[in-house]
């Protein structure tokens, strides 16, 4: 059971928000950030770091979390914004917006190793491997992961030649081969990522020949 929040509740805090993201490593698509406040007495041994769960379990928990959460928010940051400010700052921006978008104001913030610099009036902790320690962070990681997977599956229908449904944008061998074959799609790929930039330059070179 993930119970890092337990000692924080004992100090009198009641609305602990967990924040996490999905999609920092992929070559394309948005980075999706989520925030989630769970009830003090809520327990669910199945909620864990989203990377440790099967897709089926994640989707079941996704619906459960949305149903039981006091508040949650999900924010997508576009590939263009990632290229403009870098993936780290894009993740920070997404988490910050996800907290500010909540319908209730939290009284404590827990993140998966990401300082939320803009929010100074709420105490916060930035935990290493936070999604394996705090249930609210793990819940946020599930919200972010399922949302991002759905976005990539929708893109797969629009661009089936890239097989987004399988690799979800991550730099697998197959994805790199398809990227080099078809070239990056503007507005979808992250041109600040080296494999994307190299594929784009290769396409330009072929056009010049």
Whose structure tokens read 């769970």? 38
Per-residue pLDDT, 205: 56
Compute the chain's Rg from CA coordinates: 18
In 25-129, DSSP assigns E strands to: 31-37, 71-77, 108-111, 124-126
Cβ atoms 28, 165 nearer than 8 A: no
Cβ atoms 81, 33 nearer than 8 A: no
CATH class of 5-156: alpha beta
Helices and strands: H and E segment counts in the chain: 8, 5
Task: Note the pLDDT tens digit of each residue in 55-113.
Answer: 999 999 999 999 999 999 999 999 999 999 999 999 999 999 999 999 999 999 999 99
Per-residue pLDDT, 52: 85
Q: Is residue 179's pLDDT more than 70?
A: yes
Task: Note the pLDDT tens digit of each residue in 131-140.
Answer: 999 999 999 9
pTM: 0.95
Task: Note the pLDDT tens digit of each residue in 21-58.
Answer: 999 999 999 999 999 999 999 999 999 877 889 999 99
* Residues β-bridged to residue 109: 17, 124
């Amino acid at each position: 059971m993930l119970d890092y929040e337990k000692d924080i509740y004992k100090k009198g805090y009641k609305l602990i928000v967990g924040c996490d993201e999905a999609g920092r490593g992929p070559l394309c698509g948005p980075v999706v950030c989520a925030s989630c406040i769970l009830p003090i007495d809520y327990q669910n041994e199945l909620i864990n770091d989203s990377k440790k769960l099967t897709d089926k379990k994640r989707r079941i928990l996704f619906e459960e979390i949305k149903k039981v959460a006091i508040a949650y928010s999900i924010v997508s940051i576009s590939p263009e914004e990632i290229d403009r400010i870098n993936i780290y700052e894009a993740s920070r921006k997404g988490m910050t917006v996800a907290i500010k978008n909540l319908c209730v104001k939290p009284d404590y913030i827990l993140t998966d190793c990401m300082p939320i610099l803009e929010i100074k009036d709420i105490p916060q902790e930035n935990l290493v491997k936070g999604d394996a320690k705090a249930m609210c962070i793990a819940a946020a990681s599930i919200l972010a992961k399922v949302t991002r997977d759905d976005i990539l599956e929708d893109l797969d229908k629009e661009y089936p030649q890239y097989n987004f449904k399988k690799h979800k944008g991550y730099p697998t061998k197959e994805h790199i081969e398809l990227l080099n074959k078809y070239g990056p799609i503007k507005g979808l790929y992250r041109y600040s990522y080296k494999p994307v930039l190299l594929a784009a330059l290769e396409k330009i070179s072929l056009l010049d020949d």
